[in-house]
């Protein structure tokens, strides 16, 4: 059941026939308001999504370059440079991970780049045999950033790692595998960026319908699902054991690098929040956004301004994160209560976004997260 704000209801009554708010069956959308969805979509695409992918593409190219430099001349210097580039690129990836729509969705971009925990023993046997196909969906757990994490930080200290890539058994295979993983991150990224620079941008922006197949409806579902499943559950909930009651430190993101997990979390959180507010990716001011849309609709929840509730909750999440260690693996091992508290704050935002915001925007939620029996 959708709640329609009183004002919106009056508008509807005075202008047209009623909206059926359950446009989820694609029976042709009826615009429920005059908010300029096209302008919002254009701002999203031109000032946030495309620049974010372009920046990440530069970063993933640098990652491939640093990997090439390392495998051509493995040394303490090239390893250190590669590790730094890996960290930078993994952080940068957090600014595009939520945009799993269009080409990214089609090719399973996020699955290939960031399925974790990675499968270290599978990687080892791939390296040993030298035989693998990273295009298979069954190889999600053998590539992407989590695989690089293992290869750069999971094989031992710097010296031991270097030894694996130089004089150790299968050193050449390690070098090949690492480079293949880096190249694949870069080529998948280029594919998505190119799609946005090409026809997909117009396709996305012009699909202003408010039906379930319209860009706003579809993107919003992806955006909110990202927050729930990847930001809340993936980065915090699974390692904290929020669903099982037993912490799983090995489920932390960037578990081998260790001290990177909180930075990844905070970057993702900030990118998500900036998108909500409509902040341009390159700091170029703000434009039409969820925030503006909710303000335009004058959306309320229990007598309070919905946008203010959402922004306050983002603040509460950020405030809470001050209690978190830079390394989520050790966080859940030493004080899991702080991780669970983070989960609780994130879940409060899930309710505001998935239930209240989606209802206010008359968007049908097309996924469920129930785990019944």
Q: How many C-beta atoms surround the C-beta of residue 279 within 10 A? A: 20
Structure tokens, 216: 């706003």
Nearer Cβ to other proteins (281/343): 343
186 with 60: CB under 8 angstroms?
A: yes
Nearer Cβ to other proteins (64/356): 356
Q: Name residues whose C-beta falls within 8 Å of residue 53's C-beta, 6 or more positions apart in sequence.
A: 96, 99, 189, 192, 193, 196
Residues 238 to 267 in contact with other proteins, rule: CB under 8 A: 240, 242-246
Nearer Cβ to other proteins (22/250): 22
Structure tokens, 128: 């040993």
Residue 282 engages other proteins in binding (rule: CB under 8 A): no
Binds other proteins by CB under 8 A, chosen from 28, 167, 169, 373? 373
> Distance between CA atoms of 274 and 276, rounded to whole angstroms?
5
Q: How long a stretch of residues is the chain?
A: 373
Among 61-69, 96-104, 168-176, 336-344, the segment contacting other proteins (CB under 8 A): 336-344
Nearer Cβ to other proteins (16/187): 16
Residue 295 engages other proteins in binding (rule: CB under 8 A): no
> Distance between CA atoms of 43 and 293, rounded to whole angstroms?
13
DSSP 8-state class, residue 281: T
Residue 268 engages other proteins in binding (rule: CB under 8 A): no
CA 87 to chain centroid: 16
Residue 21 engages other proteins in binding (rule: CB under 8 A): yes
Structure tokens, 6: 């009183």
| Per-residue x/- track, 1-20, other proteins (CB under 8 A) | xxxxxx--xx--x----x-x
Nearer Cβ to other proteins (23/207): 23
Nearer Cβ to other proteins (284/367): 367
In whole angstroms, the minimum distance from the beta carbon of 347 to other proteins comes to 4
Residue 343 engages other proteins in binding (rule: CB under 8 A): yes
> Distance between CA atoms of 189 and 49, rounded to whole angstroms?
13
> Distance between CA atoms of 203 and 186, rounded to whole angstroms?
24
Residue 304's φ and ψ, nearest 5 degrees, are -115, 155
Interface contacts to other proteins, rule CB under 8 A? 1-6, 9-10, 13, 18, 20-22, 24-25, 240, 242-246, 300, 303, 336-337, 340-341, 343-345, 347-348, 351, 355, 364-368, 370, 372-373
């Amino acid at each position: 059941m959708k709640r329609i704000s009183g004002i919106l209801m009056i508008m509807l009554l005075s202008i047209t026939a009623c909206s059926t708010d359950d446009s989820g069956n694609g029976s042709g959308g009826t615009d429920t308001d005059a908010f300029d969805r096209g302008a919002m979509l254009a701002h999203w695409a031109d000032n946030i999504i495309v620049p974010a992918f372009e920046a990440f593409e530069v970063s993933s190219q640098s990652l491939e370059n640093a990997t090439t430099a390392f495998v051509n001349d493995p040394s303490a210097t090239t390893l250190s440079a590669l590790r730094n580039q890996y960290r930078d690129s993994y952080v940068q990836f957090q600014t595009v991970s939520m945009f799993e729509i269009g080409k990214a969705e089609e090719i399973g971009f996020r699955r290939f780049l960031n399925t974790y925990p990675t499968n270290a023993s599978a990687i080892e046997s791939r390296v040993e045999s030298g035989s693998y196909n990273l295009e298979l969906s069954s190889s999600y757990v053998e590539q992407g950033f989590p695989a690089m994490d293992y290869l750069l930080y999971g094989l031992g200290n710097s010296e031991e790692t270097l030894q694996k890539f130089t004089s150790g058994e299968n050193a050449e295979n390690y070098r090949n595998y690492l480079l293949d993983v880096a190249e694949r991150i870069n080529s998948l990224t280029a594919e998505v960026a190119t799609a946005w620079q090409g026809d997909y941008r117009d396709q996305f922006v012009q699909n202003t319908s408010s039906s379930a197949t319209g860009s706003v409806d579809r993107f919003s579902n992806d955006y909110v699902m990202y927050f729930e499943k990847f930001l809340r559950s993936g980065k915090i909930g699974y390692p904290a054991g929020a669903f099982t009651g037993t912490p799983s430190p090995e489920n932390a993101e960037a578990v081998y690098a260790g001290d990177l997990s909180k930075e990844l979390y905070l970057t993702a959180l900030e990118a998500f929040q900036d998108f909500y507010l409509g902040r341009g990716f390159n700091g170029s001011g703000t434009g039409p956004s969820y925030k503006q849309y909710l303000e335009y609709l004058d959306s309320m929840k229990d007598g309070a301004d919905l946008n203010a509730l959402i922004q306050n909750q983002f603040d509460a999440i950020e405030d809470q994160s001050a209690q978190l260690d830079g390394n989520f693996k050790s966080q859940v091992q030493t004080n899991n209560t702080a991780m669970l508290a983070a989960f609780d704050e994130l879940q409060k935002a899930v309710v505001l976004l998935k239930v209240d915001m989606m209802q206010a925007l008359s968007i049908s939620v097309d996924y469920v997260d129930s785990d019944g029996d």
